[in-house]
Chain A
Amino acid sequence: MKLKIVVGSVLIAGFIIFGAYSFMESNVKYVTIEEAKKTTRKVQIVGEWVKEKESYYDARTNQFIFYLKDDNGDVVKVVHNGAKPNNFEIASHVVVKGRYVDGIFESQEILTKCPSKYQSADALKQYQN
């Protein structure tokens, strides 16, 4: 019976360590562009799309390219694997997840944060005049 308890607790401890390790490993931290340049880990950056600079979709490689400016005012070229995300134009800010490699931020996922539509009655107002 004692052996079983020992085996059981070792197993549980193992699962907890394994889970905690995977958690830390997969936790994608929010960083600034400056910090992203210093690490090879997968990170995420919040910023604004620099509309003045080029942005296009390259069909041959299926990549969407644009420039992102973070809160510190740093700008980085982002190469996103995939099409231009939904809501990209009206997003108040965008979040890119990926890695910084050789002067380019290689993004695997883009989240677009939109100004909330639910809290405004603007859409109602059109009928009121």
Chain B
Amino acid sequence: MLGRFLIYIAFASSLFATIGYYLSFKGRKSLIQKARLSYHISAIFVILASAFLLYLILTHQFQYTYVWSYSSTDLSTPLLISTFYAGQEGSFMLWTFYTAVLGLFLMSYSRRNGYEAEVMSVYSLVKVLLLLILVVKSPFEYVWETWPNQVHEGFVPPEGRGLNPLLQNFWMVIHPPIIFMGFAAMAIPYSHAVAALLRREYLTWVKPAMPWTIFAALALGAGLAIGGFWAYETLGWGGFWGWDPVENSSLVPWLIAVGTIHTMYVQRRTGAFARWNLGMSILAFILVLYSTFLTRSGVLGDTSVHSFVDPGMWVYLLLISLILTFSFIGFGLLFARRKEIPKVKVESDLLSREYNLFLASALLLIVAGFVIVGTSSPIITKILQGKASAVDVSYYNKTTLPLGIIMALLIGLAQTMWWRRTNPEALMNSLLFPTAAATVFTSILIVAGVREVLMALFVLTSSFAFFVSLRIAYKIARGNPKYIGAYLTHIGVALFFLGVIASTKYDKTQVVSLPKDQAINVFGYKLTYIGNQKIDKEKVAYNVKVEKDGDSFIAPLQMYFSEYNQGVMRHPYIFSLLNYDIFSNPNLLAFLVKNTLTNDLYLSPMSLEKSGGFNPHTTGDLIILDKNQEKVVGDYTLKFIRFDMSSEDMAKMMSGQDFAIGAVIEVTYKGKKQQVIPKIFYRNNMPVPEGVKVGDKQLTFVNLNVESGQIAVSLRSNGAVSEFQDEPVEVLVIEASVKPFINLVWFGVIVILAGFVVSMIRRISEVKK
């Protein structure tokens, strides 16, 4: 009850704050004190509610559905804390928490800058609606409220369902807190834009809004980067980006925010693009809401690998009304005031910095447009074709590649442009070195093997962007390093592009079968599968010895059946500079620096097989045996008596673990009668039959149909098998790949984010002046 109570108070007081702020903007100045107080109360209650949820999780109060659904007593404390935002209710709670806390900073910030009532009335409304979601979809629901007919009141489950093993990871502990910080912060540029429209103060608002926009883009960008690293490192996607709806939904608002930053910069300088900036700032937040709707409402349910939980009608409607409310306020006001927004004449010279910055902003908007259309494809196709289907990943690659090429070119050009008008001669001079360097660099890569035209072009424009940015950054670093932010970010973008090209277009992958204790050479490494062991109650590590130049390391590839996901989980092991085993194994670092600086070695487990055992291509003709009916096959008479399965195996089968099933078969050969029990072992859900010897042949139990009481067996001469191998040998099948220059991707991202930090600090100091 307490949790719900805290949410209700927070909701009521934030509603009060919104109304108070709005009325005080409308002229009842005395209300501002009360509004401020209400906001503080609501923020305190949001913080208390969050603390209470955390307390419930840490003390394992499984009578709460949310706690029961995502945690269990065997989780470590950091993982336990991360279950706070493992589900929908908790992630809305986290979002609301950030909104509440950031609001406290925004309050004093806007008070200093003299527009508190306007900005806080809008911002506080965001919090009201987030709290409304928490009222409807409460993390404080009891299990007997969730399932009223199935669970009796007061029941406390002794154990929780536990956390999805995919989320049991350091990166997953820090990823959502950063992403949601970005989501929450995106409401601040929105509130600034709406406040500007309310105040009819269209020109000066970008100055105080700019640091917040950069902050929101920084947080969201950092979240995207960590999400990408998590996908690479844990999910075994083989890459850092899968154009998945969940990823796209953070990328799109990020692109818009970054686009806005470019034109805000122009507006600060010249006053131009006021309407564009208002629209973009509003759009960025609307897209945060729209993305939330896409990934949280269940509309994508049937078209993605992600499991999207259907949260129910109420949340669905609430999310839609959230989008409509804030679109109506933002775009409605913009439309109503469109005529009075001053139009500062834009410098329309093609060779001006402002024009090129506008192009950059528009280009980012177009990229975002393509991505959001693709992500919405299930909705679009549902309307057009009546049946929802998602676009293929190739759609994103196809559409973003040409835009990426143009973007890189623009990055290079725009940074050399002057304000108002660039002297063409001076432009030529400053472009000489970067163009030459990029041409040389690209030529080398073409000789080295970059043959596709678009890829070569992308390399050319990216390296051009890199050299331009590097040259300017070098000059600035010697002068006033405070101004280096933008150039640093663009160096990062160029490096990131080059890393993306190298690692995704020129990676090499090979499926390799590793028979136990037998070394196989792959990509210059010697790999040996040396056996497996359980590492906890579920997880199994398949150890592969990796050798090169006298160094040797063990790579534990994980593959196991997850109770939680009811499926086989596979975790890759990566030899890369970001491998955290360097802390426990000091020799590893030197090895990694020597071998993986330019090429990551990525090993993913595929399956465990037995050679010499079952292979449907070589088992010969199958013999179908009906229960208790004799069948004569050559010199043999076979009779299937019954299935043989221990109760222990039965239980294992029911719970999806490895198990074995046997068939009792009576074999008559040369007048001698005997009973044999060939078995099928199910390992990771893969049937592995083991034959038994009868006479001079091998009898293998291959398949079964329990309902009809039929089995399929094969009988073949023993010699054929023993010729090949006497004992079946375990074979670990893995996918090995090398990812060239993937470190450039990570390094590029870090440089981008560092640039954001520098820019943000500069813009903050400008506001203070």
Contacts and interface: CB of A to CB of B under 8 A. Distances in A.
Contact of B370 (A19, A30, A87): A19
B351 to A, nearest CB: 13
Contacts of B398: 22, 25-26
Contacts of A111: 304-305
Contacts of A28: 389-392
B523 interface: no
A62 to B, nearest CB: 4
B45 to A, nearest CB: 28
A85 B305 CA distance: 11
A124 B147 contact: yes
Interface string A52-75: 101011011110000000000000
Interface string B565-592: 1111110000000000000000000000
B297 to A, nearest CB: 15
B649 interface: no
Contacts of A85: 567
B565 A57 contact: no
Interface in B146-185: 146-147, 150-152, 155, 157-159, 161
Contacts of A59: 511, 513, 606-607, 609, 731, 733
Contacts of B569: 86
Contacts of B443: none
A127 B609 contact: no
Nearest to B396: A26
A62 B606 contact: yes
B369 A83 contact: no
Nearest to B559: A83
A34 to B, nearest CB: 16
A119 B63 CA distance: 16
Interface stretch (B284-292, B373-381, B485-493): B373-381
B329 interface: no
A124 B157 contact: yes
A124 B68 contact: yes
B566 A114 contact: yes
A124 B150 contact: yes
Contacts of B685: 84, 88-89
A57 B391 CA distance: 28
Interface in A85-129: 85-90, 97, 111-114, 116-118, 121, 123-125, 127-128
B728 interface: no
Contact of B609 (A30, A54, A57, A124): A57
A117 to B, nearest CB: 8
Interface in B355-409: 366, 369-370, 373-374, 377, 380-381, 385, 387, 389-392, 394-395, 398-399, 402
Interface of B: 68-69, 143, 146-147, 150-152, 155, 157-159, 161, 302, 304-305, 307, 309-310, 348, 366, 369-370, 373-374, 377, 380-381, 385, 387, 389-392, 394-395, 398-399, 402, 511, 513, 565-570, 606-607, 609, 614-616, 656, 685-687, 703, 705, 731, 733, 735
14 contacts: A1-B348, A22-B370, A23-B373, A23-B391, A23-B395, A28-B390, A59-B606, A62-B606, A82-B606, A86-B567, A114-B566, A121-B147, A124-B147, A125-B150
